[in-house]
Amino acid sequence: MCGCYIISKKFIAGWNDFKNEYLANNTYDESEKTKKYLQYEQYCEMLFNLVSHTYYHKKSEDKMLAIIEFKSWVRTHRDWWNNPLETHSNHDTYDKKVTQIIDEWVK
């Protein structure tokens, strides 16, 4: 199965609606839409984990951005960052400096 939808602007734009529907549903919905958005959730977690780990090793935003242009990736997934499936999980999970950098990028 191609994961091309994960980088589709149209698909990504549906994140907030999906999250609201998913949390309002009392039973697990095995629809293709749900499966795709839960895969998207995992993709975003991996992406932001990569940002976090890279910052940990480089200790500098500039050094981190010199090897990977994270800023554009992060901005593409700003809705997920600002509205994760588990409320506040991103700011509770990642280092304070990393969250500050990401918050600045997604303004």
**Domain that includes residue 74, residue range:** 10-105
Residue 96 lies in a domain: yes
Residue 2 lies in a domain: no
pLDDT computed for residue 2 by the predictor: 59
Number of domains in the chain: 1
Report DSSP state, residue 95.
-
Residue 4 lies in a domain: no
User: Residue 50 to residues 10, 13, 21, 35, 100: CA-CA distances in angstroms?
Assistant: 24, 22, 28, 23, 16
Judged against a pLDDT cut of 60, whether residue 1 lies above it is answered with: no
- The answer to whether 22 and 85 are in contact (CB under 8 A) is yes
* pTM for this prediction: 0.88
Q: Which of 26-30, 45-49, 93-97 has the lowest average pLDDT?
A: 26-30
pLDDT computed for residue 7 by the predictor: 79
Judged against a pLDDT cut of 70, whether residue 96 lies above it is answered with: yes
Residue 64 lies in a domain: yes
Residue 40 lies in a domain: yes
Judged against a pLDDT cut of 90, whether residue 106 lies above it is answered with: yes
pLDDT band for 36, please (50, 70, 90 cuts): very high
Distance CA 74, CA 51 (A): 9
Judged against a pLDDT cut of 90, whether residue 27 lies above it is answered with: no
